[in-house]
Each structure stands twice: as structure tokens, then as C-alpha cells.
């Protein structure tokens, strides 16, 4: 059985329209898509030898004949038939670099599913600036980590978002799931720990952290 995070990523893929998983590693997302009955082209891309071998091995072992494996960097070998890309389990700078190195390929890509493990607040504004609107999103908690998963769809008429919606997601703010609320509480608690360590109520950093915590408390009220 695949992990809760990978299963949530698969659930965000709604269109069976040729899907490339960039940084596929084990290939579990692609195998799960086939298992779910997705019939379109599937491609796993890996730019490192061992994960690539791992990917090829898992695909071969699965018995599915038609999952392509590319030993390649980012979107370099993703042709214009691919309409959905998944980039999961990486830092935001790598994700951004993968996209900007092949920006012209976005012309063909309609759906993008992102699981960034750093700088989560930059994810939504970045993809919105490239002409994608938020299609769906979910926060999940697994192995002591909160994951903020977002799917984007190409859109000519992108909604206007508030600052809070850009950082946390409109759907997440409406649903206020337990995992979402706990993610916010976790940040508040981490900030309190830092404040206690600084132990100087007049310091600028403490002021900033207290302000951030007031803002976060407002989010989950």
C-alpha cells in the first residue's frame, strides 16, 4: 500500500491525459495511477542513477508494459503530449528551477500537482504568476510531517486571492481540516519555543514571531 502522502497526490490527479512524474524515484505514483485504471501515457523522470534504476526496476516488476522511464533532467524529455505533471517531494527552489528551465513547455501542460517540502508559502503565488489557478488542495499529516499538496490548472481568468488564501489555500481555509489546523498550531508552538529561547521580549525577532502567531491564531479561529 502506498503512503498517505502519495495516495493524496494520486487523488489530486483528475485527468487521464498523459502524466509525467518528475523526480519519480520509486515510481509509486505512476503504478498507483495504472492500478486505478488510468490508461494514458505515463512517464517517470529521474535525473539520478540509483533512483532511475529503482524506478525502472519497480516498473518492470509491476508487470505494466507501458510506463516510460526517462533518465533525464526535469522537463527536458517531456514531450508536448503530456498534459499533467507531478513534482513531489522536493524543495521549492528545485521545483522552480525545473519549471523555469523549460518554461516554454508550459504551453502544453494543463495540470500541475505540487508537493513542495520547503518555502510552502511561495508555491501558490509562483504557479499563479505562470497562469495557473488553484484547482484543489489538501494538507495531510504523516510520519510527524505536514504536507501541503496543491493541484493547479491552466486558467485564463485566475481568481483574486487574499494574502491568507495565497499562503494557505482558499479550500484549506474553508475546510479547516484537523490536519490543516494542527499544521498551524504546530507552527505557533515552534514559534513559542523560539520566543522562549530568545528570552528577550523587547527583541525585534520576538516581536515578529508574536505578530506571526497572532496572525496564525486568526487563521484557525
Under rule CB under 6 A, residue 33 binds ligand SAM: no
Range 138-142 contact pairs with CB under 8 angstroms and sequence separation of 24 or more: 138/8, 138/11, 138/12, 138/171, 138/172, 138/177, 139/172, 139/177, 139/179, 139/180, 139/183, 140/4, 140/5, 140/8, 140/179, 141/179, 141/182, 141/183, 142/3, 142/4, 142/5
Under rule CB under 6 A, residue 32 binds ligand SAM: no
Comparing every residue's Cβ against ligand SAM, the nearest one is 23
Under rule CB under 6 A, residue 2 binds ligand SAM: no
- Partner residues linked to 115 by β-bridges: 88, 149
Min dist CB 124 to ligand SAM, Å, is 19
Q: Candidates 18, 25, 42, 169: give the one binding ligand SAM (CB under 6 A).
A: 25
Q: Candidates 7, 11, 15, 47: give the one binding ligand SAM (CB under 6 A).
A: 47
Q: Total number of residues binding ligand SAM (CB under 6 A)?
A: 17
Instruction: Mark 67-96 with x for binding to ligand SAM (rule: CB under 6 A) and - for no binding.
Output: ------xx-------------xxx---x--
Of the candidates 101, 104, 123, the one whose C-alpha atom is nearest the C-alpha of residue 22 is: 101
Is 56:46 a contact under the CB 8 Å cutoff? Answer: no
Of the pair 47, 210, the CB lying nearest ligand SAM is at: 47
Give the distance from CA 16 to its chain's centroid: 19
Under rule CB under 6 A, residue 45 binds ligand SAM: yes
C-alpha cell at 34: 495504472
Unique residue bearing C-alpha cell 503530449: 81
Instruction: Mark 4-23 with x for binding to ligand SAM (rule: CB under 6 A) and - for no binding.
Output: ------------------xx
Min dist CB 189 to ligand SAM, Å, is 26
Distance in angstroms (rounded) separating the CA atoms of residues 187 and 1: 30
Under rule CB under 6 A, residue 142 binds ligand SAM: no
Which residues of this protein are in contact with ligand SAM, per CB under 6 A? 22-25, 45-48, 51, 73-74, 88-90, 94, 98, 115
Amino acid at each position: 500500500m502506498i503512503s498517505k502522502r502519495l495516495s493524496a497526490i494520486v487523488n489530486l490527479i483528475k485527468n487521464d491525459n498523459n502524466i509525467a512524474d518528475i523526480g519519480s524515484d520509486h515510481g509509486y505514483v505512476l503504478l498507483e495511477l495504472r492500478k486505478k485504471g488510468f490508461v494514458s501515457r505515463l512517464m517517470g523522470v529521474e535525473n539520478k542513477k540509483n533512483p532511475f534504476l529503482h524506478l525502472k526496476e519497480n516498473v518492470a516488476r509491476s508487470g505494466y508494459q507501458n510506463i516510460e522511464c526517462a533518465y533525464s533532467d526535469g522537463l527536458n524529455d517531456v514531450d508536448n503530449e503530456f498534459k499533467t505533471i507531478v513534482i513531489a517531494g522536493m524543495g521549492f527552489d528545485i521545483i522552480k528551477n525545473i519549471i523555469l528551465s523549460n518554461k516554454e513547455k508550459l504551453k502544453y501542460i494543463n495540470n500541475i500537482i505540487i508537493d513542495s517540502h520547503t518555502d510552502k508559502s511561495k508555491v501558490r503565488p509562483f504557479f499563479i504568476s505562470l497562469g495557473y489557478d488553484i484547482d484543489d488542495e489538501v494538507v495531510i499529516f504523516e510520519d510527524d510531517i505536514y504536507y501541503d499538496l496543491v493541484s493547479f490548472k491552466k486558467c485564463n481568468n485566475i481568481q483574486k486571492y487574499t494574502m491568507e488564501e495565497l499562503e494557505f489555500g482558499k479550500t484549506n481555509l474553508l475546510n479547516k481540516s484537523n490536519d490543516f489546523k494542527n499544521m498551524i498550531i504546530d507552527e505557533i508552538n515552534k514559534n513559542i519555543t523560539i520566543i522562549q529561547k530568545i528570552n528577550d521580549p523587547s527583541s525585534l525577532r520576538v516581536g515578529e514571531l508574536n505578530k506571526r502567531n497572532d496572525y496564525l491564531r486568526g487563521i484557525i479561529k
